[in-house]
Amino acid sequence: MRILLTGAAGFIGGHIRSQALARGHDVVALDAYLPQAHGTGGAYDSSIHRIDLRHDPLDEVLDGIDVVCHQAAMVGNGVDAQDLPDYAEHNDAGTARLLAAMSRAGGRDLVLASSMVVYGDGRYTCPVDGDVPPAVRREDDLAAGRFDPRCPVCGGEITWREIGEDTPFLPRTSYAASKVAQEHYAGAWCTLDDARTVALRYHNVYGPGMPADTPYAGVAAIFRSAIARGEAPQVFEDGQQVRDFVHVSDVARANVLAIERVAVHPPGLTPYNIASGHPFTIGEMARVLAGAADGAPPELTGDYRRFDVRHVVASPRAATEGLGFTAEIAPEVGLAQLATDPLRRR
């Protein structure tokens, strides 16, 4: 197949490119080389077209393409409200331009990088009120070390549950809003052009080549960078926050499967959670990483960031049924390897 891969110089895009080439696909690679991700040093790979989706011509690179795999995006959660225009322009206006160009080129198949952040705070079960989104955590609870959210109806204790793809959107950050908008734009394009999109909602992706600590980095990069500096990972709250850490080689394989199978999906947007299926606490994750690096043991700080999501865990079942995807690398194995995996410097 001839694939157009955007974000090809990025962490996930680079792994997709290698796996797609190894499967015998022809890959046309694009990247805008954003300074936030790649610095300004100018070390560009000449086999990757330097194209910014916001304003560069796209018709030529789309010629003869079977499937577009769209990974290019500003990532992270956004630092403050000043980031909003950048997320909107890169992630949403860029995607809208790409879709318009696909329409002109007669393209009908898209694989879109989405994220579990579209679910915001996740879903919980209340013994009294049933399936509920959690209430926003109160400052007085957090200050007193009560980190678990409460039921939005009765204020009682609730327990997290695995979420499926039908969970309502609840975007809380600039990045999350931009990912929801990308899915909506792709859905609208599907309706207009009778086209197909497979949206892969990644959980916490980690592995070799992940960017070193930046203001936009997630916890795995932050802990890995602390270990590289000989420092102890600083674990917030009580370390019991639950996430799903999924290895980048599994995420790349999910993309290649989606590329190969998007055309057998019905018209419209089909979302899949991409997760390891092995929930892990942040405290356990810090212990595995620090232990494998033989570094200083993690420190439980009790600090908190009020708008952090407490627990979010996806069901990976739909991806197994629809794509034949099951993660192969268990977090305890992959996270131990991350202790010595190379990070990407800008």
Contact residues: ligand UD1, CB under 6 A: 75-77, 115-117, 175, 202-205, 216-219, 222, 234-237, 241, 243, 282, 305, 308-309
The least CB distance from residue 236 to ligand UD1, in Å, is 4
- What burial class does residue 224 get, using C-beta atoms within 10 Å of its C-beta: 0-12 exposed, 13-18 middle, 19+ buried? buried
* Residues 18/54/113/109 CA torsion (nearest 10 deg): -80
Compute the distance between CA of residue 38 and CA of residue 211 in angstroms, rounded to an integer.
9
**Closer CB to ligand UD1, residue 241 or residue 270?**
241
How many residues are recorded in the chain? Answer: 346
**Closer CB to ligand UD1, residue 75 or residue 99?**
75
The least CB distance from residue 330 to ligand UD1, in Å, is 18
Cβ atoms of residues 69 and 27 within 8 Å: no
**Closer CB to ligand UD1, residue 68 or residue 235?**
235
The residue number whose beta carbon is nearest to ligand UD1 equals 218
Pair of tokens at residue 336: 């131990």
**Closer CB to ligand UD1, residue 193 or residue 299?**
299
Nearest CA to 110 out of 318, 250, 270, 217 is that of 270
Compute the distance between CA of residue 197 and CA of residue 112 in angstroms, rounded to an integer.
7
Looking from the CA of 38 toward its CB, the CA atoms found within 13 Å total 20
**Closer CB to ligand UD1, residue 204 or residue 270?**
204
The least CB distance from residue 171 to ligand UD1, in Å, is 11
The least CB distance from residue 220 to ligand UD1, in Å, is 7
Pair of tokens at residue 100: 């318009």
The least CB distance from residue 328 to ligand UD1, in Å, is 18
The least CB distance from residue 66 to ligand UD1, in Å, is 28
Q: Which amino acid is at 228?
A: A
Compute the distance between CA of residue 223 and CA of residue 121 in angstroms, rounded to an integer.
22
Nearest CA to 233 out of 332, 301, 163, 327 is that of 301
- For helices 174-193 and 94-105, angle between their N-to-C axes, nearest 10 degrees: 20
The least CB distance from residue 80 to ligand UD1, in Å, is 13
**Closer CB to ligand UD1, residue 84 or residue 154?**
84
**Closer CB to ligand UD1, residue 28 or residue 282?**
282
Looking from the CA of 7 toward its CB, the CA atoms found within 13 Å total 24
